[in-house]
């Protein structure tokens, strides 16, 4: 598996980070920076909605049938980068390992999270994780830190994501670890499956959008 990282553009330690739409999308495909740690998954090309659809915040359809285990793709919805991660069995096993060290393992703090973000894997399908790739602290884009036991994050690190701006860490379900600046888990956007191969981001069966 090749090593690439999510590197935010225009961020600096100790200052708010408000990356533009362009910089967020470049960050998701860029090469790693000094603060990115561990092995990341390869990224794949995503579907791009029309400019009119993006401006209106319309739902975005994504083809996920070719997304292999260990791969993550990024699409744009309402000007935000949305991650779609095909978790491996090892990534799913790491969720239980992380729970004792999480600030909100049941996603009960943020009332705006959809109900399907409140299970152990925070997703409609255990293997596919969908989240907005923006830290809930000051808006930086977290980097992948998928290697378990990485020395930079401690021998007990189960793998997940690191926000390089202020050090918040998240597990493979986007749940924030204790004593970190981020106040809540990563946002799970409204989404639903149109078929096994097609994912709709921006709407779900509850009417949320």
Catalytic residues: 166
Whole-angstrom distance, CA of residue 77 vs CA of residue 49: 9
Beta bridge partners of 74: 83
Q: For 159, what's the count of Cα atoms within 13 Å in the CB-facing half-sphere?
A: 19
Q: How far is CA 131 from the centre of its chain?
A: 4
Please list, in sequence order, all residues whose beta carbon lies within 8 angstroms of the beta carbon of residue 17, skipping any fewer than 6 positions away. 8, 10, 11, 138, 139, 140, 165
**H helix intervals, 37-134:** 51-56, 89-98
Whole-angstrom distance, CA of residue 68 vs CA of residue 194: 19
Comparing CA positions, the residue from 199, 165, 207, 202 lying closest to residue 61 is 199
Whole-angstrom distance, CA of residue 96 vs CA of residue 77: 30
Whole-angstrom distance, CA of residue 32 vs CA of residue 166: 17
């Amino acid at each position: 598996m090749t090593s690439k990282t999510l590197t935010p553009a225009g961020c600096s330690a100790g200052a708010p980070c408000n990356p533009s739409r362009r910089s967020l999308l470049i960050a998701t495909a860029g090469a790693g920076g000094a603060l990115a740690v561990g092995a990341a998954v390869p990224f794949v090309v995503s579907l791009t909605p029309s400019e009119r659809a993006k401006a209106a915040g319309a739902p975005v359809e994504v083809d996920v049938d070719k997304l292999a285990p260990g791969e993550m793709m990024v699409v744009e919805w309402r000007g935000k980068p949305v991650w779609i991660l095909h978790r491996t069995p090892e990534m799913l096993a790491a969720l239980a390992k992380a729970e004792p060290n999480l600030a909100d393992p049941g996603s009960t703090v943020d009332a705006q999270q959809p109900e399907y973000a409140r299970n152990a894997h925070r997703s409609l399908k255990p293997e596919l994780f969908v989240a907005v790739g923006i830290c809930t602290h000051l808006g930086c884009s977290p980097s992948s830190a998928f290697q378990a036991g990485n020395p930079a994050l401690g021998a007990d690190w189960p793998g997940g994501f690191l926000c390089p701006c202020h050090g918040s860490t998240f597990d493979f379900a986007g749940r924030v670890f204790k004593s970190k600046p981020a106040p809540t888990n990563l946002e799970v956007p409204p989404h639903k499956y149109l078929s096994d191969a097609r994912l709709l981001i921006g709407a779900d069966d509850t009417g949320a959008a």
